[in-house]
Each structure stands twice: as structure tokens, then as C-alpha cells.
Amino acid sequence: MNTARIAPLRLFRRLAPGGLAALLTAALLAAALALSLANLDALLPAAQWWRALRAPLGIQQIVVHDSWLPRLVVSWLCGAILGLAGTIFQQVLRNPLAEPMTLGVSAGAQLALTVATLAAPALVGAAGSWIALGGAFVAALLVFGLAWRSGLAPVPVAVAGMVVTLYCGSIGVALQMFYAPYLRGLFIWGGGSLVQQDWQAATMLATRLAIGAVVTLLLLRPMTLFGLADANAHSLGLPLRRMRLLALALAVMLSAAVVSAVGVIGFIGLAAPPLARMAGARRLGPRLVAAPLCGALILWVADQAVQRFSGVMGDLLPTGAETALYGAPVMLILLARMQRGARLVASPSSPSLAGHGRHASSAALRWRFAALMLALLGALVLSLVCARGPQGWHLSGWNELAHVTIWRAPRAFAALAAGAMLAVAGTLMQRLTGNPLASPELLGVSAGAALGLVVLVTGAGGFMASIGASHTARLAATSLGALAALLAILAFSHRSRYAPERVMLAGVAIGALFQAVVAVSIASGGEQAAALLQWLSGSTYTITPADAAFALALCLALCACVPFTQRWLQILPLGDAPARALGVPMRGARLALLALIALLTAAATLIVGPLSFAGLIAPHFARLFGARRPLAQLALAAPTGALTLVLADWLGRTLLMPRELPAGLVATLIGAPYLMWLLGRRR
């Protein structure tokens, strides 16, 4: 019995990577063919397939000829284009994580089309591909400009792409909130819908793919030399800057073509090149042929699975959302296999984005803490007494305050509690990981908490129904989501003894999975999608006095635990060996800090949703104020984060009166440009 069990395992281990890739490719191809035949048979009897292909007669044959077949061809073409673009990006940037979605290119193209849809709808129909191309180029120029001083190294490029993607997405969310009736179809299209009504998109994509293939062939030798070090490539006569920009422009053009045709489809450009490499395409030339074929196969399977298993949603389920469900594990595996030189997390000695700054004395820190508290108090007073009405700006008197405080105070104090908790969580993360770009959102716990609420919303039959059920139900759902995210993080990082970079990688994958589920939920449309967008963007609309009191109590209780971690925060960045020598229980200390970060992040997510830059920006401001020790930085970061969200909540409900912007969205729109400025300054 033991021999029978061990023999297949030995055979599996002896298989070469190329053999495993061949088996995987064969399985995907068989699944794609089986699903396609089943879907086609559900639409039309097999005896009528040939007539539907050549000269369709009747409604069903016309549907197959003008809708199903173009969708099939578009899935092949989009997958091939994304596979080619991903290979070019990864080769030129020497970054295994580079693809249109992670570099902000897809987000820029989508935002450009969204703005054009509102400003000039007729122009979108006539020049949609050129509008998408312009938005993609602007986003790409911004990303590469932010990372240029770092030599386009993998980590700065990935971080810049993340920031640009989040910023473009935040602007898109704001527009969708204001113009939801006009952008209803954009909810579905933005998730990557391959639904077709004619052969126009297929013709356009085929033309772009042919042009891209010819230009890629002409750039084959320069792109091959990009695999060498810059000095070696330059010594061989390669004009690095010109060829790099030309190759990147080609990849951006290919990516924009896909976005203009079907919306955002992520992770195909990330997964196709490694699959081609596993299949034996080690050199660039064969990989440029194999990667488009692998991309076409992956998207073919994904789209046919959507058509087969989407049920009554049918055409309303975006294929791009399903590719994200597959892409999250792929991204996690690629991140885990990255070389040490391309690690996501910086070394513990890495400086803050804002620079070291001057170390302030204890007296100076006390004065600055007092100044921040006074500023926070002033912001609270401003939020309560200053408002904008039909007659313009005015200050509320005592009589008016007695009536409006019941509405304004809970929102202001809930924003205060959420901002303080996010700032403390961000400071703990940056201290623990040694990564100046760490934030609660990247940990993945806020995404897990938000995912819990999404499940409650879809299960309860509507956002307002879930709120009316009970506050306890919402709290339980988000807590369970945060707990599930934390358990996934701990399970993944257990073998590495909870190393900080492994924790970060798990958070990235969970965030990608969350985005996919949200895309499916928003695609259902209606009031549920609009209300969900409001909460996801950081709304305090539904905060009650009981919610605010609970948030303040939870903030005080969790922040009171932070001083007990001071010794760990000072010793852990020194490394494992010195920490053990000083008697720090490494595994227990990291577990306790991760649990505290998770609780702080989940509690803040309950209040203002998962979108905010407060946890990322506040620790850097604390360092600018001269706080170098852990407790000093935490003491200055907490009021800074609280001040940020209190002002963001006040601005969101007054600037565009009678319309309102959620506090988390305002904080993102203000914080992202500041973060871009910091990234541009840093080498």
C-alpha cells in the first residue's frame, strides 16, 4: 500500500517544469473546448452550427453569428494582446509583477473613458480607442516619472503603479456616485465585460495585435538586451532610454486597445509570461509567441466559464472579475518567488519617504503634540458649527446647534476615532515591516472586513435591509471577514515564522480577491450597488450616536494596548538574531502585533470603509515633526490621522453642498497627490 501511494508522488516530482506546463495547458485547452461546445449547444442545435457560421437565418443563428462568435474571438484577441503587453512590460522593466493593471495603465484608460462618457458621449463612440490610449499614456507617464529617479527598479514601479491605480479608481468612484444613472452600463463594462453585438471590436483588436506583433519583431534585439544589466546593454550600443520608452509605448498602446474594447481585465498579462516560461520558452523570442497563446487560452477558459456558470446574471457578470479570482493566487505565488533583489518590503533600515528629518527633543515633541491636539479640537469645532447652506457659508448659533449637533457630532467623532486607529495601525505596520509604504489597506484585513459586509449586503437583499436588520449583524459580518483575512495571512506566513514580507504578500492577494467580488456585486446594479459604492468610498452617512460612542470606546481600548509593545517595536527592526539575543519571543511578538494591527484596521473599516490614505500618510508626518522613537511617533501620528479624517469628513459634506463626498474618498483624493510628490522626491 505504501509503495502504491508513493509511486505517483515520485512520478509527479520527477516531471520537468515543461511537463507540468504541458499537462496544465492540455487541461486548460480541454476545458475551454468542452465549455465552448456546451455553451454553443445551449444556444443552438449542432445541426445548425455550420449555417449559423456562414449564412445565419433566424434569431438564434443570428445571435450565435453576431454575438457568441465575436465574443469568442474577442476573448482570444484580448488574451493574446494582454499576454504580449505583459511580456514586454516584464522584459523591459525586469519586473515579474509588471502588467497593465499593476502599472496603472488600465486604470488611466478607464478613467479617461469615464470622463469622456460624461463630457462628450458622442466622442466616445467615434474615438473611444484614442481616448483610452491618451488616458493610458498619461497614467504610464505618471508612473514611470515617479519611479524614474530610482532607475525604474521593480519596487518603486510597483508602488507608483499602485498609487496611480488607487487614485484613478477613487476619481472614478466619485464620478460613479454623482452620475450613477448615466454610468450604469459602465459598472459592468469597467469590470471587463466581453459581451459583443457585432464584429467591430474583433476587427479593431485584430488590427492592433497585428501592428503590435510587427513592431515587437522589429524591437526583438533591443528588448533581448534589456535582459542584461544597463551597463552591459549600453556597451553593446543599445540606446537605453530611447528603446525603453519605445517598447513601453508599444505595451501601453496594446493595453489601451483592450480597455477601450472590453474594459479592464487584470492578471492575464501577469500570468501568461510565467506560464510560457514554464512551458519551455526561456528565451525572449519564443516567449513573445508563447505568452500571447497562453493569455488567449486563459481568457478563453475564464469567459466560457462565466457564460456556463453565471446563471441568470448571464451577460451582467464581468469576465474581468473572474480573472481576478484566478489572478490573486497567481500574484501571490509570483511575489513569493521573487528574487531577493526585488523584494516588496524594504530593509528595516530604510528611511521614511519624507526623509529622516531632525530628531526633536522631548520638550519640542510635547509642544507639537499639544499643537496637534489643539488643531484637532479646532477641526471638531469647525465641523460642528461651520456649514454651507442654500444662502452660502454660515456659523451655527446655540439655538441651531441644539438641532444639528445630533447629525454632525456622530460623524465627526466617528471620523476622529477611525483616523486615529488607522494612523496607529499604519505606524505599527511600518515599524514592524521596515517598509515606509506599508499601510492598513495593504495588510488585507480592511479588505476582508469589507468583504464581510459585501456578503451581508448580497445575502440580505440590499444595503438598507442589512442596516435595518441590526447593528450587531453588520459588526459580526465585518468582524468575521477581518478574522478570515487574518487567518489566511497567518496560514500563509506560518512556515516563514510570520516574516513581515510574507504577511504583506498575503494582504496583496486578499485585496485583489476583494476587488473581484466587489466588481461582481456592483455589476448587479440598482440601489444596492450605489449604496455599496458609498460605503466602500468611506462614507459616514449612516453613523448614529451609538456607533460613534462605540467607535470612540474601541479606539481608546485598542490604543491603550499600544504602549505595551514599545520594547518589541524598538528591537524587532534590528533583525531576528539580535532580537532573540535580547530575549524577545519573535513568533509571539509578531503574532501579537499583527493581531493588534488587524483589530485596529477592522474597527476603522467598520466606520469609514476600506479606502483611506490616513494610515499611510500620518506616520510620515509624525517623522517630519521629529518623532523617531516608537511611542513618540505613535503619539503624533494618532492626532494627525484623526485630524485628517475629521477635516476630510467636513470638506466632503460642505464643499459640494447639497451633494456630499465620503470622508475616505476625500482623504484619498487629497493624500494620493502628496504621496506621489514624496515618491517623486525619493531615490
Q: What is the mean pLDDT of residues 626-651?
A: 87
Same domain, yes or no: 180 and 291: yes
Per-residue pLDDT band for 80 (boundaries 50, 70, 90) equals very high
Number of other residues whose CB lies within 10 A of the CB of residue 606: 27
Beta partners for residue 369, in sequence order: none
Cell of 259: 480597455
Q: What angle, rounded to 10 degrees, do the helices at 69-93 and 284-309 form?
A: 140
Highest mean pLDDT among 48-57, 193-202, 214-223, 532-541: 214-223
DSSP assignment letter at 314: G
Phi, psi at 236, each rounded to 5°: -90, 10
> What residue numbers bound the domain in which 207 lies?
17-45+57-338
SS (H, E, C) 44-100: CCHHHHHHHHHCCCCHHHHHHHHHHHHHHHHHHHHHHHHHHHHHHHHHHHCCCCCCC
Residue 574 lies inside a defined structural domain of this protein: yes
Last-in-domain residue among 338, 371, 403 = 338
Same domain, yes or no: 510 and 658: yes
Q: What is the mean pLDDT of residues 624-642?
A: 86
d(CA 588, CA 564): 14
Beta partners for residue 386, in sequence order: 395
CATH number for the domain harbouring residue 200: 1.10.3470.10
User: Is the pLDDT higher at 94 or at 286?
Assistant: 286
Which residue in 441, 482, 445 sits closest to 617, CA to CA? 441
- The answer to whether the peptide bond before residue 658 is cis (omega within 30 degrees of 0) is yes
Last-in-domain residue among 270, 305, 338 = 338
Residue 347 lies inside a defined structural domain of this protein: no
Q: What is the mean pLDDT of residues 76-82?
A: 93
Cβ pair 61, 52 in contact under 8 A: yes
Highest mean pLDDT among 42-51, 138-147, 373-382, 512-521: 373-382
Same domain, yes or no: 327 and 398: no
Residue 7 lies inside a defined structural domain of this protein: no
User: Is the pLDDT higher at 262 or at 319?
Assistant: 262
Amino acid at position 35, single letter: L
Same domain, yes or no: 649 and 546: yes
d(CA 55, CA 40): 17
Highest mean pLDDT among 347-356, 364-373, 605-614: 364-373
Query: How far apart, in Å, are the Cα atoms of 357 and each of 264, 352, 519, 615, 620?
Result: 41, 9, 42, 20, 10
pLDDT digits (tens, 9 = 90+) for 193-244: 788 888 888 999 999 999 999 999 998 888 888 777 767 777 777 777 788 8
Q: What is the mean pLDDT of residues 325-354?
A: 51
Provide the pLDDT for residue 12: 40
pLDDT at 463 over 50: no
Maximum distance among all alpha carbons in the chain? 87
Cβ pair 542, 467 in contact under 8 A: yes
As a whole number, the mean pLDDT across the chain is 76
Provide the pLDDT for residue 8: 44
Least confident of 108-112, 229-233, 245-249, 410-414: 229-233
Residue 38 lies inside a defined structural domain of this protein: yes
Cβ pair 151, 90 in contact under 8 A: no
Phi, psi at 282, each rounded to 5°: -80, -35
Which residue in 402, 653, 395 sits closest to 543, CA to CA? 653
Same domain, yes or no: 297 and 171: yes
Provide the pLDDT for residue 79: 92
Cell of 145: 516619472
d(CA 412, CA 137): 39
Per-residue pLDDT band for 517 (boundaries 50, 70, 90) equals low
Taking only Cα atoms into account, the Rg of the chain, rounded to an integer number of angstroms, comes to 26
pLDDT digits (tens, 9 = 90+) for 377-420: 998 888 888 877 777 777 777 777 777 788 888 888 988 998 99
Least confident of 15-19, 337-341, 369-373, 596-600: 337-341
pLDDT at 647 over 70: yes
Same domain, yes or no: 669 and 521: yes
Same domain, yes or no: 413 and 289: no
Cβ pair 516, 181 in contact under 8 A: no
Last-in-domain residue among 295, 323, 338 = 338
Highest mean pLDDT among 344-353, 484-493, 613-622: 613-622
Same domain, yes or no: 377 and 306: no
Same domain, yes or no: 310 and 444: no
Per-residue pLDDT band for 6 (boundaries 50, 70, 90) equals very low
Amino acid at position 354, single letter: A
Structural domain tally of the chain? 2
Provide the pLDDT for residue 495: 63
Per-residue pLDDT band for 469 (boundaries 50, 70, 90) equals very low
Per-residue pLDDT band for 82 (boundaries 50, 70, 90) equals very high
pLDDT at 551 over 90: no
Per-residue pLDDT band for 13 (boundaries 50, 70, 90) equals very low
Give the DSSP H or E segment for 394.
strand 392-395
pLDDT at 444 over 80: no
d(CA 525, CA 517): 14
Which residue in 388, 377, 474 sits closest to 660, CA to CA? 388
Same domain, yes or no: 193 and 280: yes
Cβ pair 132, 68 in contact under 8 A: no
Per-residue pLDDT band for 116 (boundaries 50, 70, 90) equals confident
Provide the pLDDT for residue 183: 60
Least confident of 16-20, 38-42, 257-261, 467-471: 467-471
User: Is the pLDDT higher at 16 or at 159?
Assistant: 159
Tell me the three state secondary structure of residue 610: coil
Same domain, yes or no: 325 and 439: no
> CB-based contacts of 286: which residues, under 8 Å, 6+ apart?
276, 280
For the chain, first and last CA: distance in Å?
Answer: 60
